[in-house]
Structures are given as structure tokens and as C-alpha cells.
Amino acid sequence: MPTPASTHPNIVLVLADNLGWGELGCYGGGVLRGAPTPRIDALAAEGLRFTNFNVESDCVPTRSALMTGRHPIRTGALQSVPAGLPQGIIPWEVTLGQLMKSRGYATGCFGKWHLGDREGRYPKDRGFDEWYGIPRTSNESMFTSAPGYDPEAVPPPHVMEGRVGEPARNLHVYDLEARRSIDGEITQRAIDFIQRTTQSRQPFFAYVPITHLHYPTLPHRDFAGRTGAGDFADSMVEMDHRVGQLLDVVAQLGITDETLFIFGSDNGPEFRRPWRGTAGPWVGTYHTSMEGALRVPFIMRWPGKIEPAKVTNEMVHIVDLYPTLARVVGAEVPNDRPIDGIDQLDFLLGKQEKSAREGFVYYIKQELRAAKWRDWKMHMIWEPEPNDGPKHLESPLLFNLVRDPKEETDLNTEASWARGPIRRMIHAFQESLKTHPAIPPGAPDDYLPK
């Protein structure tokens, strides 16, 4: 059994939706975007802020990577499976919630799940004692207001809740008004869970995948008009307030020192207008392989364990949270499947200077798009803007991300040596896919990998 870093620390993991690298004040945005973010900025000052934290291409793949420690090309958790069919991850996968449960944690999921939308695949079936939120995504809130919408062809989306051992139930239709209020409700449910479990003296894992800033980016009525800079900025201010409410309840309960508080985003910014976001100095949005898609805000605070007021540009990937948090609580990760995540706890605790990761491969759906290694990035397919049409490259493009953060100058001729280690990394990953074939998207519940 791995040795835990502490005796059953509480974990709060807040995952924003489509929050770009350049939006928050502590990442150069904030007031420049018309929306100060003082609570999240203060969290960054109290913890470790990452400038090279990487994710997958969009909502479903990143959430699968977080929950399984495996790249989504392995799990089949891709955005291409329609609602009502077997979406998300199959029951064979072992989730982060299940790892926490194995160590006696109370577990709650409050927010957007997007890893299964039917019985057997809801959060309450996948390692969480209780769940409140939406099974899929926020743009569905536009359905009932759309001209020609037919509820017989596409049932109205609902806000739902569920408890382990019981069927999930619909609470109310997820329409545009519900879109405005849901993050407030998510936060209140999470606060109630934290209060109850603290009172019972049980360690807890609160997974809070909020819905801001996913389109339609609409603020709660209490925040509408707050900034004078429009709905997007008002929603950012609301998001900051919701994170502040979670930080406040942890402080009020006197459990700050016993709680690992994590804040991040599932992917780069939205590309659709008028909700388009910004990735700061990086180019691109989600659904691309540009740095603006891969790099997202990420902050960790753990008083007495993680050094405060520190910034790191060391490479970390969201799959790394799976083995890292498993070690934090003393859980065993599965040993019968490839786990792509790397345990980063020694790096986080300052016991080693460098990240344990040097690179990773990057797929969009089932297509290898790019790979990062140290300061280098190689694109096999070039599509800097979604829907521009991917260009399959005869000779891959090679960029040095320190010298050229906007990925504008191909160094294939000048620095062709860097292709060698990148190619070896790609080859090793693809060989592992031959040994452990990928789970096909839409696989049924009883599917067992070979």
C-alpha cells in the first residue's frame, strides 16, 4: 500500500469549463478582461500556480483523463458519441472517486459530469456517494428556446441528482434561466456536503465541475450587469465568487490546513462568438492542438505541504492527478491497464526540483495531432482554428515553445535532432495501444478490454 502524504486530507477539486489561460487576474487577465478575480488570485498567492499545466482537447476527453489517469484514446471517451447512446467511460474503468472510496472517503460530485448519461454511468454509479448537476453539457440549455425544437425527437435536458444505490432523478428542465442559476446551486450543494462530512469527521473528496464559462455564458441574475462589460465578464466575476464561497466554508470549518484545494480548467477557451475567450500569450482555442488548447490555469493549495506563492513552468498533465491524488490518500492504482499519469507528489511537495514528466502525446478523437517534449512541440496535423480543415503534414512542424510561444516559426531544419526523442515517445505510446487496444467509443457497459 502506498504511503499517504498525510492522514486522510480532505480534497476539494474545482474544475471550470472552457476557462482559457489568459482569463484570470493571476494569469494576466482579470481587470483586462473586465472582470477582477480576487478570490482565485488570492488562492494562487497561497499556493502553487502552474503555467505549463496541460489537458486534453475538450470536455469529455479531459474529464475522462482526470477520472481514469488514462489518455482518452485508450478509454474511448470522445465527444463524438450522441446523447442517449453509451457515452463516457465504461464501468470497467476505475475512477478517481472509486479510489477515494477505497480509502474511506465520503465522495460527492456537484456539477457537469459528461462521462455517462444513463443508469450505470452517472456519478453515483461511478464512485460518488451523491451527485447534483447535469449529465452532459451547458449548450443543451438552449434547446427549449430554439426555433423548431421538438421534445419528442430530443427530450428536454434536466438538472439531476442521484445517490449511490438509488436511481437518479430529474429535478427540473435545464433551460436558459436554469443555466443562469446552476453554478449557485452547485456551490450550495457542495458547501452542504463539506459541512455534513466535516461534522461527521469523515474525510471527503468534493469534486466540483462548475459550468462557467461554457457557452451560453450567462451570469446568475445577482451578477448580471455587475461589471458593465457584458455577460462574459459578469460570469467570470460570478465564477470567482463561487470559488470564494468554497474557500470560505473550508476556512469557517477550521479545516484549511487539512484540505488540499485544487482549481483548474478542463480545456482552453471557447472559439465560438460572442463567447470566445482568450489563452493569453498562447494561440488557439479548444478543439485544436495549439498551446492555447493544451495549457490551462491550474492552482493547488495545501498549507504546510505545498510551498505558497510559488509559480512553476514545469510540465504537468491532467492524467497525473490520478496517481498523485491516489498517493495522497494512500490508494492503489489499477495495475492491469496502462496508466498514463505520473505520480507528481514529490515534485509538488518540493522533494524534487523537476516535474517527473518530460512530454506527452496529444490526440483529438482518434487522430494523433501533436506531441510535446521538454520545450518542443511537433505537429503532425495542422489546424490552428477549429473547423478550418485539418491539414495532414508530410513533414511535421516543429516549434520551440520558449523562443516561439505562438508557434509561428518551424525549426525542422535548424533543430531536426528534437524530432528523435519525440518520435520515440510517440512510437512507445502507439506500441502500448497494440498491446492494450483502445476501447471503442460507444462501447456497451459489459465491454471488457482484451
Distance between CA atoms of residues 92 and 94, nearest Å: 6
319 and 69 in contact (C-beta within 8 Å)? yes
Over range 353-363, report the average pLDDT: 98
Question: Is residue 8 among the annotated active site residues?
Answer: no
Q: What is the mean pLDDT of residues 433-449?
A: 95
How does strand 158-163 pair with strand 169-173?
antiparallel
CB 72 within 8 Å of CB 65: yes
CA distances from 313 to 92, 97, 260, 352, 355 (A): 35, 28, 21, 14, 9
| Mean pLDDT of the region 436-446 | 95
pTM score? 0.96
Distance CA 173, CA 13 (A): 26
What's the pLDDT band for 80 if we cut at 50, 70, 90? Answer: low
> Would you put residue 403 in left (φ > 0), alpha (ψ -120 to 50) or beta?
alpha
**Which of 26, 59, 212, 379 is the catalytic position?**
59
Nearest Cα neighbor of 33 from 218, 236, 180, 193 is 236
pLDDT at 1 over 50: no
Identify the CA nearest to 130 among candidates 78, 172, 192, 61: 192
Q: Which DSSP state fits 186? A: H
How many Cα atoms occupy the beta-carbon half-sphere of 136 within 13 Å?
19
Amino acid symbol at 384: P
- Residue range 288-302: mean pLDDT, rounded: 98
For residue range 162-201, list pLDDT tens digits in order.
999 999 999 999 999 999 999 999 999 999 999 999 999 9
**In the predicted model, is pLDDT for residue 438 greater than 70?**
yes
Q: Hey, which bits of 164-270 come out as E strands?
A: 169-173, 204-208, 259-265
Given the residues 71, 109, 114, 379, select the one marked as catalytic.
114
Q: Does the annotation count 158 as an active-site position?
A: no
Q: Cell for 335?
A: 495495475
Mean per-residue pLDDT, 394-417: 96
Cα–Cα distance, 77 to 45 (Å, whole number): 35
Cβ partners under 8 Å of residue 275, min gap 6: 213, 215, 216, 217, 232
Kindly report, residue by residue over 365-393, the tens digit of the pLDDT: 999 999 999 999 999 999 999 998 899 99
Instruction: Render the burial of 336-367: b for 16+ CB within 10 Å, e for the rest.
Output: ebebbbbbbbbbbeeeeeebbbebbbbbbeee
- Is the per-residue pLDDT at 33 higher than 90? yes
130, β-bridge pairs: 108, 163
Domains and CATH numbers, the chain: 10-348 (3.40.720.10), 359-435 (3.30.1120.10)
pLDDT digit string (tens) for 34-64?
999 999 999 999 999 999 999 999 999 999 9
Contact (Cβ atoms closer than 8 angstroms) between residue 105 and residue 201: no
